[in-house]
Amino acid sequence: MNVLLNAGGMFQLPLSNPVLIFSLVLFIILFVPLLLNKIRVPYVIGLILAGVFIGEHGANLLKRDSSIVLFGTVGLLYIMFLAGLEIDLKEFKKNSRKSLVFGLLTFSVPMILAGTAARYVMDFTWISSILFASMLASHTLIAYPVAARFNVHKTLTATIAVGGTIITDVLALLVLAVIAKMSQGEVNEAFWIQLTVSVLVFAAIVWFVFPIIARWFFKRFDDSISQYIFVLAMVFLGSFLAELAGIEAIIGAFLSGLALNRLIPHHSPLMNRIDFVGNALFIPFFLIGVGMLVDFKVLFKSWESLKVAGVMTAVAIAAKWIAAFFTQKIYGMKSHERTLIFGLSSAQAAATLATVLVGYNIIVGQNELGEPIRLLNEDVLNGSIIMILITCSLASVATASASAKMAQEMNDGKTDSEDKDTRNILIAASKEDTIDPMVELALLMQPRKQEQNIFVLSVISSDNDDRESEERRLKTYQDKMVVTAAATDVILTPLIRYDVNYVSGIQHTLEEKRIHEVIIGQQKYEDDGKSATGLKSRNLLDKCSQIIYLIHGMQPLNTIRNMTIVCPDGAEMEPSFPILLERITTIAKQLNCDIHYYSSASTLKMIKRQNQENKGPDAKFTIFDNWNDFLILARDVSKEDLFIVISARPGNTSYHNGLADVPRHLAKYFANYNYLLMYPDLRSDFSQNPSAEFERTGEFLQQGMTQLGRTGDKLKNILRPS
């Protein structure tokens, strides 16, 4: 009865019951994108408008209290963290100059236009004009999730925009810090020294110390929940350290994402969890919170508010468009690439709010009526809210339009083979401590999700006396592998087979499922006294013709620093060699690893060419052709690296006697290292890789003709009469 009597109080506006508040917000997050997708309106706009409706200036359903502010702050930091985490560091380094140019343009153009408008159109003081201009120079990656949904957030254009964002925001927030101190008369030599030292110390801690701590943690703790909480804690620690250094927390979140980038592969369970939680909860909370700030009634309070809002919005949009236009012309981009840069850089939100609130709270004097004179007045505060709504809406529409065109362009550029070629991979699971390395390898080899069918096979020998117990044990292993892959939205198909023996079971499954590649695991510290491959693996190599990978993982692959690859002379003539190179390139991109190839001069020449065609990462190339001195490679391989040996079996074109000793060397001298043995298939399908065959044949013919020419010259000299 008491519950019924109190029910009326639960629905008093604004709502105060935490369960009801959270439920309402979740229903908004659920249904608004579903409804707007039907009319092709970006969900970002919908969530902001929903915030306008439920906020204190709308239906007054919710109050923008500390809980909304807390979740919104988390969402803002999450956006910046994801931007740093998902950026391709290799591409970012290659194009850092372009990001710097765009960052300076998107900072300087608004500073000039907005500063001039504030001083001569709105009659602000110079110090207020500079602060006003810095407010419009910054921007927030509100539309970044839109680009991510179209899968164009890792393109060169998006990388330039994201890199430019951090540059302009840092500069704008530094202007804010300086102006705030100037208004208090505290800018002196000590201030500049303190600010410089604190920022450098902060950057050094996040960039150098955070990866060391994270690598140590990931090596020792593989629990998915613990890893996620650890990452979240590091992000907020980095954000706090940024504030401690005197800059905004969003800079710390972005730099934390860059620092942890190499340790969180894009197709990994951890990355999937980070994406899921952020996009499902924290980021929508932030967008709704931004909408709750908007008060349409401010437009009708005074003509000055309307004037300020109009000037702010027009200058902000024009300045960001001009910066994107100059960037397009400098680097010869297409029109929709310019639109994407404009869309990602035109939304005003977080840094803008921070600047306007700081300026509003700084009182520089009093007027004749005794009222406080603020560095940024109430008209700017009200106008900024309207500007935020308009720029966020425009940014979302522009980004969605450009992203759709870029996605279509990317899809049109795919060949038929890329769309139709689905390769089946088999993971042969039998031992518990080989599960994680094999699943990690299978997931890292995928350039695109669902590009291949992955099967997990466990074989129960017919002479096993306790088949039921063995089946339960193997099913437990398989369930663990399926759950791990499911966290990345990849489906693993488990198979348990009764057969004469391990190799026979795999052979029959290869034929039934049309398997192209097989992954087998080497147990940690396992040594049969002869070879790293072990008896079962050697039998499998002898009787199966498919591509075979043998992985020996001593630590999680996401903690790998570098990849060292050695392959025999003539490996490029193997029909499956392009596939092996593609797998290596994909793994390197996901792990952001440096690559170092060792092989003969002719093979390295072909690797360089294919690496360029596959748009692979920059790599080192060293000539190596003395397989009797294989152990010399140990000088260039550390325990933090992944050592890859592209080997061969008798019957392969590239096979030679020196390869027979490689497994024994690995077992004896690399037992504590991470290594991967790759065996090309045994097909003799010449059409699979004709270019390498023709090029190699051409080289042989050219060498032969040269040698014949030299021999002819010698014969002429001998036969020439003295």
pLDDT at 685: 46
Q: Which domain holds residue 272?
A: 19-366+378-405
User: In terms of Cα–Cα distance, which of 492, 538, 545 is closest to 518?
Assistant: 545
* CA–CA separation, 298 and 295 (whole Å): 6
In a domain, 411, yes or no: no
* CA–CA separation, 640 and 435 (whole Å): 20
* CA–CA separation, 509 and 597 (whole Å): 34
In a domain, 317, yes or no: yes
What's the DSSP call for residue 154? Answer: T
* CA–CA separation, 250 and 28 (whole Å): 26
Q: Is the pLDDT of residue 56 over 70?
A: yes
| Pair (201, 54) in one structural domain | yes
Q: Is the pLDDT of residue 688 over 60?
A: no
Q: Is the pLDDT of residue 363 over 80?
A: no
| Pair (657, 681) in one structural domain | yes
pLDDT at 245: 85
Higher pLDDT, 368 or 471: 471
Q: Is the pLDDT of residue 209 over 90?
A: yes
Question: DSSP assignment of 497-527, as one string?
Answer: EEESSHHHHHHHHHHHHT--EEEEE--TT--
Higher pLDDT, 504 or 303: 504
User: Residues 199, 249: contact at Cβ < 8 Å?
Assistant: no
Q: What is the pTM of this model?
A: 0.72
User: Residues 346, 388: contact at Cβ < 8 Å?
Assistant: no
In a domain, 420, yes or no: no
Average pLDDT over every residue of 627-656? 88
The rounded percent of the chain whose pLDDT value lies above 70 is: 84
| Pair (229, 93) in one structural domain | yes
Q: Which of 79-88, 226-235, 239-248, 658-667 has the lowest mean pLDDT?
A: 79-88
Q: Determine the residue type at 63.
A: K
| Pair (647, 665) in one structural domain | yes
Give me the CATH number covering residue 628: 3.40.50.620
pLDDT at 700: 44
Q: Binning pLDDT at 50, 70 and 90, where does residue 615 land? A: confident
pLDDT at 534: 65
pLDDT at 1: 47
| Pair (228, 282) in one structural domain | yes
| Pair (301, 393) in one structural domain | yes
Task: Measure Cα distances from 239 to 182, 193, 252, 262, 550 in Å.
Answer: 25, 21, 4, 19, 42
| Pair (477, 328) in one structural domain | no
Q: Is the pLDDT of residue 686 over 50?
A: no
| Pair (91, 197) in one structural domain | yes
- Helix or strand or coil: residue 447? coil
- Look-up: residue for tokens 């993982």? 553
pLDDT at 5: 46
Most confident of 82-86, 261-265, 303-307: 261-265
In a domain, 24, yes or no: yes
Question: Quick one: CA dihedral 121, 123, 129, 132, positive or negative?
Answer: negative
In a domain, 529, yes or no: no
Q: How far is CA 14 from the centre of its chain?
A: 40
Q: Is the pLDDT of residue 336 over 80?
A: yes
| Pair (192, 107) in one structural domain | yes
* CA–CA separation, 34 and 40 (whole Å): 10
Higher pLDDT, 159 or 40: 159
Q: How far is CA 544 from the centre of its chain?
A: 37
What six digits make up the tokens of 548?
């075979």
Q: Is the pLDDT of residue 713 over 90?
A: no
User: Residues 681, 549: contact at Cβ < 8 Å?
Assistant: no
Give me the CATH number covering residue 76: 1.20.1530.20
In a domain, 371, yes or no: no
Q: Is the pLDDT of residue 669 over 80?
A: yes
Average pLDDT over every residue of 679-703? 55
- Helix or strand or coil: residue 495? strand
What six digits make up the tokens of 35?
């409804």
Q: Binning pLDDT at 50, 70 and 90, where does residue 367 land? A: low
Q: Binning pLDDT at 50, 70 and 90, where does residue 545 land? A: confident
| Pair (398, 482) in one structural domain | no
pLDDT at 210: 94
Q: Could you report the per-residue pLDDT of 344-362, keeping only the tens digit for each?
A: 888 887 667 767 766 777 7
User: In terms of Cα–Cα distance, which of 353, 348, 373, 354 is closest to 363?
Assistant: 373
Q: What does pLDDT average to over the chain?
A: 80
Higher pLDDT, 718 or 674: 674
Which residues sit opposite 621 in a β-bridge?
A: 597
In a domain, 344, yes or no: yes
pLDDT at 9: 61
Q: Could you report the per-residue pLDDT of 369-410, keeping only the tens digit for each?
A: 666 777 777 778 777 777 877 888 888 888 888 888 888 887
Which H helix or E strand runs over 363? strand 363-366
Cα end-to-end distance, the chain, whole Å: 129
In a domain, 153, yes or no: yes
* CA–CA separation, 611 and 615 (whole Å): 6
Count the alpha carbons within 13 Å of 217 in the hemisphere toward its beta carbon.
20
Q: Is the pLDDT of residue 643 over 90?
A: yes
* Tally of domains in the chain: 4
Q: Could you report the per-residue pLDDT of 90-118, keeping only the tens digit for each?
A: 777 777 888 889 989 999 999 999 889 88
Instruction: Give the long-range contacts of residues 8-16, CB within 8 A, separation 24 or more.
Output: 13/59, 13/60, 13/61, 14/56, 14/60, 14/61, 14/62, 14/63, 15/61, 15/62
Residue 157: how many CB atoms within 10 A of its CB?
A: 27
Q: Could you report the per-residue pLDDT of 623-641, keeping only the tens digit for each?
A: 998 888 888 888 888 888 9
Higher pLDDT, 688 or 599: 599
Q: Binning pLDDT at 50, 70 and 90, where does residue 704 land? A: low
Q: Is the pLDDT of residue 530 over 70?
A: no
- Look-up: residue for tokens 């490996």? 571
Count the alpha carbons within 13 Å of 722 in the hemisphere toward its beta carbon.
1
Q: Which of 505, 521, 537 is the last residue before a domain boundary? A: 521
Q: 213-245: b or e for each residue (b if 16 or more CB lie within 10 Å)?
A: ebbebbeeeeeeeebbebbbebbbbbbebbeeb
- Helix or strand or coil: residue 641? coil
* CA–CA separation, 656 and 660 (whole Å): 8
Average pLDDT over every residue of 33-60? 79
Q: Could you report the per-residue pLDDT of 267-288, keeping only the tens digit for each?
A: 778 888 888 888 888 888 888 8
Q: Binning pLDDT at 50, 70 and 90, where does residue 204 land? A: very high
Q: Which of 190-204, 566-580, 683-697 has the lowest mean pLDDT?
A: 683-697
| Pair (472, 401) in one structural domain | no
| Pair (640, 712) in one structural domain | no
